[in-house]
Amino acid sequence: MAALQTAATLGFTRIGLQSARAAEPDAAESAPAIVIGSGYGGAVAALRLGQAGIRTLVLEMGRLWNTTGSDGKIFCSTSAPDQRSMWFRTRTEAPLATFLWLDVVNKDISPYPGALDRVHYDNMSVYVGRGVGGGSLVNGGMAVTPLKSYFTEQFPTVDADEMYGTYYPRARAMLGVNTIDPAWFESTEWYRFTRTSRKAAGNAGLRTTFVPNVYDFGYMQREAAGTATKSALAGEVIYGNNHGKRSLDKTYWAAALGTGNVTLHTLERVKSVSRAGDGSYVLTADRIDVTGTVVETKQYSCTYLFLGAGSVGTTELLVRARDTGTLPDLNPAVGAGWGTNGNTMLGRANHVWDTVGADEATMPVMGIDDWANADNPVFAEIAPLPMGFEHWISLYLAITKNPERASFTYDSASGAVKLGWRPDQSAVSVAMAKKLFDRINLANLTIYRYDLFGSGGKVFADDFTYHPLGGCVLGKATDDYGRVRGYPRLYVTDGSLVPGNIGVNPFVTITALAERTMARVLAEDTAP
Ligand code: FAE
């Protein structure tokens, strides 16, 4: 841990320098390696390239979150969102739309390159993080390793022993994964909401399990004791955490920039990818200012190109490249095999004596694990709903084993990439979540909450996902190591490799797969 903190301190200094540099317009630029996107897949690629001595340029469309606003904070809280909350919106679009059917959750904001984006497709929208660190800036930090048996089912061609013996441990160590002290968990008011949900699950004969997190639980205990500035205990999460969370800027990016070989350009959105006659890759990118105005369109070239723009970002870039003819030899598997990780959100109403407490920590630490139930496999995260008052609501993000998959296609009329997800595909997740939570409600004589997802009385939020997965599936669009088929020295390292579902929260798997890809690529593809 000491090494990690040293790297983080070093990295912050360097991040500051890089950001100053990113403000100056650049001419066309080439680098041996370019990484698109700075989430988990991009961060692993950049660190390992930098350590191998390969000069690497990283292009990220979001901003670097290292300067404070007028309130002295870098990020805003969920209860008082401002322009920093969302990516160029005039109103926030929080997952929980209403309370008591009232439109009191979302707030008007001014457009700005904020930390959270909600990308809308027909019938499905996808929450993603924007900025250096990608999803790590806005996520709940749950760092879960899937069941080995399910990993093998999803990745039959990957050596699972090697993943569980080498790459998962490597990813967890780098990410700074830790677990809550069980004794503190049992006694603190901040996790009463979780204990209440555990009791309800137990009454239905269901198993619950602690899940690790990248939020520093030592820091959280100091928050509770009043000796550290509150973050997870002050309602901070989906618009960023000002303290406590080991997001990628404090782990992988600190180490990557510390190699001296990695340069980061922020507020640059890659628009297209093509290949020059000499086999190098050519990119165009729009550089925007904080109003969203394009101030420069830049060209880059590289020998090795790593795509880490996330499941929807990477897939959109490659589908567009194939279907507009800039990378015409991409195979038909590009764009296919996309899923929501079976995500469905829901709330239950507890009895008045089963309180959840006015104080709720924002970092989830427990799940209801019914994945082994072959008839209806579900893993449900016990999610926080910090409102600062007692509301008796138990909130959950259910991850169901939904086998439905959709494809992205290029629409030449609009120039947009579309996702072919249908409502009946979401209905599969809902039916599975309902089967589990009907059981819990029956055992506890409780009911669902009808007031949280819009004025229509929707019980199951089935129109968004936190866990977009697939689109460039490992072994199909790429070889077994993320090398894109048909294009040498072009790689995918992010969540688009995961075939639509992994049964738990996905970032540890994405990180571990990227570590595996980079170990192989650096050993085989970059040798002189
Ligand atoms: P990602 O982290 O999305 O990074 C992609 C990056 O690429 C972003 O920074 C983009 O801004 C950037 N980008 C995209 N397109 C372009 C372009 N054209 N040019 C330049 N830059 C581009 O990708 N997962 C867990 O395991 N545990 C959790 O507790 C958890 N909670 C979540 C809560 C929320 C609210 C959300 C939104 C997600 C949560 N997730 C969680 C999901 C997790 O954050 C997600 O799987 C990973 O972030 C995906 O990692 P990737 O590397 O695929």
Quickly state the pLDDT bin for 526 (edges 50, 70, 90): confident
Residue 528's pLDDT is what? 59
Quickly state the pLDDT bin for 348 (edges 50, 70, 90): very high
For the Cβ of 494 lying below 6 angstroms from any atom of ligand 1, the answer is yes
317 pLDDT above the threshold of 50: yes
Distance 486 CA to ligand 1 centre (A): 26
CA dist., res. 109 & res. 115, Å (int) = 13
Backbone dihedral region of 519: left (phi > 0), alpha (psi from -120 to 50 degrees) or beta? Answer: alpha
- Rounded to the nearest 10°, the torsion over CA 273, 308, 55, 31 is 10
Pair 298, 57: CB distance under 8 Å = no
Distance 248 CA to ligand 1 centre (A): 11
CA dist., res. 330 & res. 487, Å (int) = 8
385 pLDDT above the threshold of 80: yes
Q: What is the CA radius of gyration of the chain?
A: 22
For the Cβ of 141 lying below 6 angstroms from any atom of ligand 1, the answer is yes
For the Cβ of 510 lying below 6 angstroms from any atom of ligand 1, the answer is yes
Reply yes or no on whether 381 is catalytic: yes
Quick: pLDDT tens for 133-177: 999 999 999 999 999 999 999 999 999 999 999 999 999 999 999
CA dist., res. 278 & res. 258, Å (int) = 32
Give residues with Cβ within 8 angstroms of 424, minimum separation 6: none
CA 410, chain centre distance (Å): 24
455 pLDDT above the threshold of 90: no
Residue ranges of alpha helices (H) inside 208-330 are 217-225, 252-258, 310-323
Quickly state the pLDDT bin for 527 (edges 50, 70, 90): low
Ligand 1 atom index nearest CA of 493: 52
Strand (E) or helix (H) holding 22: helix 2-22
Distance 468 CA to ligand 1 centre (A): 9
Tracing tokens 């997740």 back to the chain, one arrives at 429
Residue 215's nearest CA partner among 201, 194, 236, 199 is 236
Reply yes or no on whether 467 is catalytic: yes
CA dist., res. 133 & res. 129, Å (int) = 8
Triad 14, 19, 25: Cα angle to 5°: 135
Residue with the larger pLDDT of the pair 72 and 9: 72
For the Cβ of 449 lying below 6 angstroms from any atom of ligand 1, the answer is no
Q: Which of 467, 501, 517 to mutate to test the pocket of ligand 1 (most atoms within 8 A of CB)?
A: 467
Pair 468, 309: CB distance under 8 Å = no
Distance 134 CA to ligand 1 centre (A): 5
pTM: 0.95
Q: Spot the catalytic one: 223, 268, 360, 381.
A: 381
For the Cβ of 137 lying below 6 angstroms from any atom of ligand 1, the answer is no
For the Cβ of 235 lying below 6 angstroms from any atom of ligand 1, the answer is no
> DSSP class of residue 145?
P
Q: Spot the catalytic one: 243, 265, 391, 467.
A: 467
End-to-end Cα separation, the chain, in angstroms? 35
What mean pLDDT value characterizes the chain?
A: 94
β-pairing, 294-307 vs 29-36, is: parallel
284: helix, coil or strand? strand
322 pLDDT above the threshold of 70: yes
Nearest CA owner, ligand 1 atom 11: 130
92 pLDDT above the threshold of 80: yes
Ligand 1 atom index nearest CA of 269: 19
State which amino acid sits at residue 316. E
Residue 102's pLDDT is what? 86
CA distance to 293, 434, 445, per residue, from 194 (Å): 44, 20, 19
Joined tokens for residue 441: 């409600």
Quick: pLDDT tens for 204-246: 999 999 999 999 999 999 999 999 999 999 999 999 999 999 9
